[in-house]
Amino acid sequence: MFSIEHEFDSTVVTLVDQGPAPLQEDVIVNAFAECVTVEQYDPRIDKTHKITLSMQQVRDLGAALNLPEGVYTLPPRK
């Protein structure tokens, strides 16, 4: 299950793990104009981990999900 919310400066997607236990904590994706952040709470250490991806990294990730194993370079975006 997931939800989508439009905030003032970003779009927030929350991914909720559903299925057999053990379940993972929610993943929160914030899409800004210049970057995307991904956050997940870690109950073992009571801390939220956050990573920031540039828009180029997001583009590469999207392409990588549909490609076989290997090393690739995408052409520059026009």
Residue 25 included in any domain = yes
Determine the structural domain holding residue 45 and report its residue range. Answer: 2-64
List the structure tokens of 67: 């490609």
Residue 20 included in any domain = yes
Residue 46 included in any domain = yes
Residue 11 included in any domain = yes
Residue 44 included in any domain = yes
Contacts of 14 (CB under 8 A, 6+ apart): 2, 3, 5, 26, 27, 28, 29
- The pTM score is 0.83
Residue 77 included in any domain = no
Residue 69 included in any domain = no
Residue 32 included in any domain = yes
For residue 76, what pLDDT is reported? 80
For residue 56, what pLDDT is reported? 93
Q: What is the mean pLDDT of each run of 10 residues along the chain (78 residues)?
A: 93 92 95 97 97 95 87 81
For residue 23, what pLDDT is reported? 94
Domain total in the chain: 1
List the structure tokens of 1: 């299950």
